[in-house]
Amino acid sequence: MAEKKLILTFAPGQVNSPITSRMARDFDLDVSILRAEVNERGGKLIISLSGTEDGICRAIEYLEGLDVQIDEVTKFVVRDGHRCTDCSMCVSICPVLAYRLDRRTWRVMFEQDLCIACGLCVDACPAGALSRGLMLTQTV
C-alpha cells in the first residue's frame, strides 16, 4: 500500500468538478480530503491518496490532464531543536497529533509524516522554533 499527500490547486471553473470521487472510483484509491479552501480565485485541496503505486501514478496523470497544479507535501514544518523549549504548545494545537510529549524524557517528539500542512503549530510556537520549510516539491 502506497500513500501520498498532495496539494491540488484548481482554477475557478474546476472547483465543482467531482475530481476526487473519480480518482477514488477509477483508480481504486482511498482519497481523504485533509483540508479544503475555495474562493473566487479557485480552490486548494490537501488530499491523502492511498492505494497501489500504479493507481496513484495514474491518478496524478489524470490530474495533470485536467491542468490541476499538483504539489507534493513533503516537509512542511522544520523544527529548530536549539530553540524548542518542549513547552508542548504544538502538542495541544496540532489537529492530527503529529506531536507528542514523551513522558519519560519530557521532550516533544514530532512525526512529520502525519502533518497535513495546516500551519497552526508554526504560528503558535512561542519560541519561534517552527518554520515553514521545504514545504512542497512539484510533482511534475
CB of 125 to ligand SF4, least distance (A): 3
Cell triple for 127: 519560541
CA within 13 Å, CB half, 88: 8
CB of 64 to ligand SF4, least distance (A): 26
- Of residues 120, 134, 137, 140, which one binds ligand SF4 by CB under 6 A? 120
List binders of ligand SF4 among 87-116 (CB under 6 A): 87-90, 93-94, 96, 98, 108, 115-116
Q: Angle of helix 53-65 relative to helix 19-27, nearest 10 degrees?
A: 140
CB 10, CB 42: distance < 8 Å: yes
Of 39, 47, 49, nearest to 15 by C-alpha is 39
CB of 67 to ligand SF4, least distance (A): 28
CB of 4 to ligand SF4, least distance (A): 16
> Can you say how many angstroms the Cα of residue 49 is from the centroid of all Cα atoms in its chain?
11
Using rule CB under 6 A, residue 42 touches ligand SF4:
no
Residue type, 62: Y
Residues binding ligand SF4: what is the number (CB under 6 A)? 26
Using rule CB under 6 A, residue 60 touches ligand SF4:
no
Using rule CB under 6 A, residue 79 touches ligand SF4:
yes
Of 89, 113, 109, 90, nearest to 100 by C-alpha is 109
Using rule CB under 6 A, residue 77 touches ligand SF4:
yes
The Cα–Cα gap between 11 and 84 comes to: 39
Residues that bind ligand SF4 (CB under 6 A): 76-77, 79, 84-90, 93-94, 96, 98, 108, 115-121, 125, 127, 129-130
